Amino acid sequence: MPKINVYLPDELAAAVKEAQVPVSAICQAALERAVRDVTAARVADEPPSEDRGWIGLFGRFTPRARQAVALAEQAARDIPHNYVGSEHVLMGVIDEGGNLALKVLDSLDIELGDLRTELAASMGPATEEPHGNIAFTPISKRVLELTAKESLALGHNYIGCEHLLLGLIAAEEGLASQVLRRMGVELRTTRRAVVTALTGYLHAQQSAPRPPATTASENALTRDALGQILERLDAIEQRLAG
């Protein structure tokens, strides 16, 4: 059996030892979930729907992310395209209209109208009109895989449109990534913008005397968790720089 080293900061290691937390069992469970998510992304053949059910990896999608996937399939049908590529997924995220990914893009000074126009102009020619379910392309499956990895790396137990955006950028061979990068969107900066946006949501929620009902994205993190994520990002970026 292969051995996997797990590094814990000194303070966390001391706390784990004092609390007698079974690190190996927790790590194994987390790794098993990660493997399931990545494997599910690789074998996803077509976008789910309310009729076909949101199970497996898609079961962790937030309502807005589910709507974005549904809109991606609709975008493909409207052209028409007989496939769902990364470009359609990005179009679905844009057309959903109220998700965190769009707020992140706005914070990066990206005009959504310009992005949508550039994306539409970059799409391939129409194909024969699709009948029945439309399949994901290999690249869009890669986007789902990277989306799952981004969610796990940030310590989230859900998948929102912000994770889809990160997955779309990370899949550099995809048309969506190419369009985003032409518009000046870069993965490292966007990842930090996502964490900053979540921090803002959390601060606003804690400051409000009577906070309104919140989404899964807004409820999923604590301030300590956000600090740990920022530290993890710093460590990853230092290793990449080295």
Residue 18, pLDDT > 90, answer no
Query: Helix, strand, or coil here: 136?
Result: strand
Query: In terms of pLDDT, which residue wins out, 154 or 228?
Result: 154
Residue 75, pLDDT > 70, answer yes
Question: Which pLDDT band, with edges at 50, 70 and 90, does 132 fall under?
Answer: confident
Out of 26-40, 181-195, 221-235, the most confident range is 181-195
Other CB atoms closer than 10 Å to residue 91's CB: what's the count? Answer: 25
User: Rounded to two decimals, what is the model's pTM?
Assistant: 0.72
Minimum mean pLDDT range among 127-136, 178-187, 218-227: 218-227
The values of phi and psi at residue 100, to 5°, are -65, -35
Strand partners, 84: 136
Question: Which pLDDT band, with edges at 50, 70 and 90, does 15 fall under?
Answer: low
146-166 average pLDDT score: 93
11-28 average pLDDT score: 64
Please state, rounded to an integer, the average pLDDT across all residues of the chain.
80
pLDDT at residue 3, rounded to an integer: 61
Whole-number Å distance between alpha carbons of 63 and 51? 15
